[in-house]
Amino acid sequence: MACPLAGRPPRVRAALAARSKPQRRPTSGHTTPSHWGNQGGIPHSAIREGNWKLIQFYYKKGIELYNLSDDPGEQNNLAEVKPELVKKLSTQLEAKLKDTNALLPIVNPNPKANFEKW
């Protein structure tokens, strides 16, 4: 099969090549709300757009934001210094959770013990 760009003028090749590049959409994930994990996992939802990853925890930790290209180990939370990006990604995550009818955790109205592990 011949390359569709073969024999085309350079500017046409460039335009076709640019058009054929897939557009990356934000990816999101959501843990099972009732699953805390045996490794200390906390129910959370996350969204990633490019190098940025936003995590919304549902128990005490709040929101975390990481630049994965600079910080692949997620050690430097940038949520406080990038509030506009936090707002943008939070809005996208909220829309995705709503669109997928994700089940979100709720606070136990009658807990048997105070949980303070984290």
Q: What percent of the chain has pLDDT over 90?
A: 34
Domain count along the chain = 1
| pLDDT tens digits along 12-69 | 666 666 665 555 566 656 554 445 555 566 788 889 999 999 999 887 778 999 999 9
More confident of the two residues 79 and 11: 79
Residue 46's Cβ-side half-sphere holds a number of Cα atoms within 13 Å equal to 14
Domain assignment present for residue 97? The answer is: yes
Residue-number span of the structural domain to which 68 is assigned: 41-101
The per-residue pLDDT of the chain, averaged, comes to 78
DSSP state of 109: S
CB atoms near residue 5 (< 10 Å): 13
CB 89 within 8 A of CB 65: yes
Q: What is the CATH number of the domain that holds 66?
A: 3.30.1120.10
CB 89 within 8 A of CB 49: yes
User: Which amino acid appears at position 70 of this protein?
Assistant: D
Domain assignment present for residue 64? The answer is: yes
Domain assignment present for residue 29? The answer is: no
Please state, in angstroms and rounded to a whole number, the distance separating the CA atoms of residues 24 and 48: 11
Domain assignment present for residue 17? The answer is: no
